[in-house]
Structure 1
Amino acid sequence: MAGYLLHHIIRFGRTLRAAGVPITPGQIVAFIRALEWIPLEDRELFYHAARCTLVCRREDLETFDRVFEWFWRNPLMGGQLPPGLLSTAPGPIRRQENRPRPAEVGHPPAPEPRSENPEAPPVILADRAMTYSPIEILRRKPFERFSEEEIQRVRRLMARLRWQISERETRRLRPGPRGEHLDLRRTLRRSMRHYGEWVRLLWRTHKRKPRPLVVLCDISGSMERYARMLLHFLHALSHTRRHVETFVFGTRLTRITRCLHHRDLDEALREVSRTVVDWSGGTRIGECLHVFNRDWGRRVLGRGAVVMIISDGWDRGDVELLGREMERLQKSCYRLIWLNPLLGIPGYQPLTRGMQAALPYIDDFLPVHNLASLEQLAAHLERLPSRRSARRSGLARPVPSGEPE
């Protein structure tokens, strides 16, 4: 719901209750759900949706009409009823005919009731100047264009994201309502209550556990304008999930998992800056992946791990080595996801040598250039299949930012 309209609706319900109209929280929820099925620019439908969901007694109709007209003249004044509002002689309230008005992007115009006096000015239900919200703009704005104040806002929004990766099935079994394995021991024990008759079969199903997540982030010179926001993202991700291993690479590979364990973001970033020595340098993705597969692969890629590589694909190393290490990494993990901040640029094509060598072994090719792309990534991780499917052959299909998969 656009802007502060939801807040105004709740205040409107409290005002009706103060006027003597019995309003329950369920009626407020019903009114809000009804607005999802009507265009907000239709003033007549808005009025009737409120009347049908918030009024249950005939004797409350006149009170509702007067409070409705008074409240939506200026929603910010709602709360205390002016003296004499309900004692005025009752009279019919006519609705203003719908007149087309250019709608603002992201903030549809609210309904406008009108009194019976045709010369009276139209009543504005919501002050659009007070319903502005910068969240939608921040969701679509690229990371490299953020100001310092916007960075602080996005940090708080990142902390609210919840990362729920699809769980994996383990080999261990547990009692379940229905499963693939018959629990013969519990079935026989339960049958003793019925003189040995198998009245009900009991089953066992596989236990489910969360998948580990491994992130390798490029911090070379070409990724410098994205590095700060990506570190904020990695810090929020590390404190949302338990099993997260984080590495950064440029000309060498560095593990920063322990650095990001600090609850305070600034302290975590200072620890990362002291640990990493190849900031904004060259890029040797193949050599860094070789070190990761040799030294860390068996430690962190067990139990169906999901691997995310964050890089623009610019590489100055051996391209053939990059292809071999990508193939080895894909075979060792459950899912290999490549996040490219340049993928959010209209018309971008992965034509660099590094991307061309890596694409045949990427399962998912996604953008990571704004907050909306992070929300898209969270939804994608939640929809991953619980079982390993057949590996896709050929190039990964890029998913444009802001479009459903």
Structure 2
Amino acid sequence: MTPLSDRPAGPHALAPNLAAFGRLLRRTGLPVGPAETMAALDALTRIDIGDRRQFHAALRAVMLRRREHFEIFDQAFSLFWRDPEAGKHAAMMAMLEGQKAPPEKPPPAARRLAEAMQGGPKPPPRPPEDRPPEIDMTATVSAAERLQGMDFEAMSAADIANAKREIRKLVLPLDERRTRRFRPDPAGPVADLRATVRESLRTGGEILGLERRRRVTRPPPLVALCDISGSMARYAQVLIHFLHALSNDRERVATFLFGTRLSNVTRQLRHRDAEVAFEQVAKAVPDWSGGTRIGESLTRFNRDWSRRVLGQGAVVLLITDGLDRDGAEGLAAATERLANSCRRLIWLNPLLRYAAFEPKSQGIRAMLPHVDEFRPVHNLDSLRALVASLSSSQGRPI
């Protein structure tokens, strides 16, 4: 491909390459369609296309809408506009260097760009011409149905990947709560006298009709406290995908992870790109798969965060197996204060998957009297039951 300065002056000479660049961005997962490509073509008529910096700034301004997409775009621009056939060259170099030691794991954006430059995932192999024998599937269980009831701890890597895709389909319609605010509504049940008098000033003080209003309703805040200790690591790996989906689907969702210390990962999980979000969480949490200090973590949450995130009838999800390294020291008082600060405290415990479960641990016995619900969370069916429970109007008035 010729340098920018050696190309014909008109931007329409770049149209085929610009369309190919748009397809590359789509393969990396960016929301770039024909409208963005046409806008980019129009933007090139307003700049000096021989100036690479102007060329880059114009394309990024009209083809992207979110700041988190800048990194992928910049890498794709640098690679594509140097050589649009770079994907094929990269594949050939990878074959030649196959015997070398594997390099350090690239960031998610680089991995996605490399896959896109090589044309995306390979199509499935064509079936053989010989017709396979017919198998009677009567009275058998489908793979999807088997996945719903499979324990997260017993899942293979492929099963976990399928479970993560199913989790993203879950919708959480939390019950809406009335607030103290009102909004104008011509059919509202409450007369708004102040607005009526203000409106009468338009007609010289004569009241021609009553202004009305309605109370605003909105879902309550949702706060998740998730145990990431060694005994919960396998479950936390899947449940954090559930919390990431909630954080990107709803407003006012706060997420905290705890093992030997408490970490606020609300900002990290709000990133829409799941790979980037989990990479940021891994950097922010130093005690993954370590010990557990539930009492100390809940005490710190009550002291530092409860007044910030537990207002307006918040619902709290406490995700832990209740196995505390410090026994039950301070755990009962911390759980009681947490329960008194929220409208509804739901304890999700994977140990409830056992039919013969008994609360013998000191930590479980200390926490159990103060929770509103005690539910299992070990498979997709239990998550669906949780979603149904959160959609109900249960809870303690506070």
Global fold match (TM > 0.5): yes
The change in CA–CA distance for 1:178 and 1:311 in structure 2 (over 3 A counts) is: same
In structure 2, distance between residues paired with 1:290 and 1:297: 10
Is the 8 Å Cα contact of residues 339 and 365 (structure 1) preserved in structure 2? yes
How big is the shift at 1:185? 6.0
In structure 2, distance between residues paired with 1:314 and 1:339: 13
Equivalent AA in structure 2 for residue 225 of structure 1: R
One of 240, 253, 257 as aligned partner of 2:266: 257
One of 288, 313, 316 as aligned partner of 1:307: 316
Aligned partner of 1:371 in structure 2 is 380
- CA offsets per residue over residues 230-249 of structure 1, 9 Å max, x none? 22222222222222111111
Query: Where do 1:265-284 residues align within 5 Å?
Result: 265-284=274-293
- CA offsets per residue over residues 37-92 of structure 1, 9 Å max, x none? xxxxxxxxxxxxxxxxxxxxxxxxxxxxxxxxxxxxxxxxxxxxxxxxxxxxxxxx
Aligned partner of 2:8 in structure 1 is none
- CA offsets per residue over residues 191-230 of structure 1, 9 Å max, x none? xx9xx999x9875432101211111100112212322112
Aligned partner of 2:345 in structure 1 is 336
Aligned partner of 2:230 in structure 1 is 221
Equivalent AA in structure 2 for residue 228 of structure 1: Q
Higher helix share: 2
- CA offsets per residue over residues 357-403 of structure 1, 9 Å max, x none? 11121011111100011111111111124xx6458xxxxxxxxxxxx
Is the 8 Å Cα contact of residues 295 and 330 (structure 2) preserved in structure 1? yes
One of 271, 286, 290 as aligned partner of 2:299: 290
Aligned partner of 2:123 in structure 1 is none
Greater shift after overlay, 337-346 or 200-209?
200-209
Is the 8 Å Cα contact of residues 248 and 271 (structure 2) preserved in structure 1? no
How big is the shift at 1:186? 7.0
Aligned partner of 1:158 in structure 2 is 167
Is the 8 Å Cα contact of residues 174 and 207 (structure 1) preserved in structure 2? yes
The change in CA–CA distance for 1:264 and 1:183 in structure 2 (over 3 A counts) is: closer
Residue 380 of structure 1 pairs with residue 389 of structure 2: yes
Aligned partner of 1:67 in structure 2 is none
In structure 2, distance between residues paired with 1:278 and 1:147: 24
Task: Say which SS state the counterpart of residue 168 (structure 2) adopts.
Answer: helix
In structure 1, distance between residues paired with 2:141 and 2:369: 45
Uncovered stretches (5+) of structure 2, i.e. residues with no partner: 1-134
In structure 2, distance between residues paired with 1:146 and 1:379: 24
How big is the shift at 1:155? 1.1
Residue 322 of structure 1 pairs with residue 331 of structure 2: yes
Residue 243 of structure 1 pairs with residue 252 of structure 2: yes
Equivalent AA in structure 2 for residue 210 of structure 1: P
In structure 1, distance between residues paired with 2:315 and 2:333: 19
The change in CA–CA distance for 1:130 and 1:350 in structure 2 (over 3 A counts) is: closer
In structure 2, distance between residues paired with 1:342 and 1:384: 26
In structure 2, distance between residues paired with 1:309 and 1:132: 33
In structure 2, distance between residues paired with 1:364 and 1:139: 22
How big is the shift at 1:130? 12
In structure 2, distance between residues paired with 1:390 and 1:132: 44
Task: Say which SS state the counterpart of residue 313 (structure 1) adopts.
Answer: coil
Is the 8 Å Cα contact of residues 343 and 397 (structure 2) preserved in structure 1? no
Is the 8 Å Cα contact of residues 320 and 357 (structure 1) preserved in structure 2? no
Larger radius of gyration: 1
In structure 2, distance between residues paired with 1:269 and 1:328: 31
In structure 2, distance between residues paired with 1:172 and 1:267: 37
- CA offsets per residue over residues 326-369 of structure 1, 9 Å max, x none? 11111111211110011122121222111111112101111110
TM-score, normalised to structure 2, is 0.59
- CA offsets per residue over residues 131-167 of structure 1, 9 Å max, x none? 9632211111111111111111111111111111111
What fraction of aligned residue pairs are identical, expressed as a percent? 50
Task: Say which SS state the counterpart of residue 224 (structure 2) adopts.
Answer: strand
TM-score, normalised to structure 1, is 0.58
Aligned partner of 1:103 in structure 2 is none
Task: Say which SS state the counterpart of residue 330 (structure 2) adopts.
Answer: helix
The change in CA–CA distance for 1:127 and 1:205 in structure 2 (over 3 A counts) is: farther
In structure 1, distance between residues paired with 2:141 and 2:378: 24
Task: Say which SS state the counterpart of residue 258 (structure 1) adopts.
Answer: helix
Task: Say which SS state the counterpart of residue 245 (structure 1) adopts.
Answer: strand
One of 350, 361, 368 as aligned partner of 1:352: 361
One of 172, 176, 184 as aligned partner of 2:181: 172
In structure 1, distance between residues paired with 2:271 and 2:192: 45
In structure 2, distance between residues paired with 1:207 and 1:234: 26
RMSD between superposed Cα atoms in Å: 3.0
Task: Say which SS state the counterpart of residue 217 (structure 2) adopts.
Answer: strand
The change in CA–CA distance for 1:201 and 1:131 in structure 2 (over 3 A counts) is: farther
- CA offsets per residue over residues 17-49 of structure 1, 9 Å max, x none? xxxxxxxxxxxxxxxxxxxxxxxxxxxxxxxxx
Is the 8 Å Cα contact of residues 184 and 212 (structure 2) preserved in structure 1? yes
How big is the shift at 1:261? 2.6
Paired residue total? 259
How big is the shift at 1:324? 1.0
The change in CA–CA distance for 1:175 and 1:281 in structure 2 (over 3 A counts) is: same
Is the 8 Å Cα contact of residues 311 and 341 (structure 1) preserved in structure 2? yes
In structure 1, distance between residues paired with 2:180 and 2:309: 19
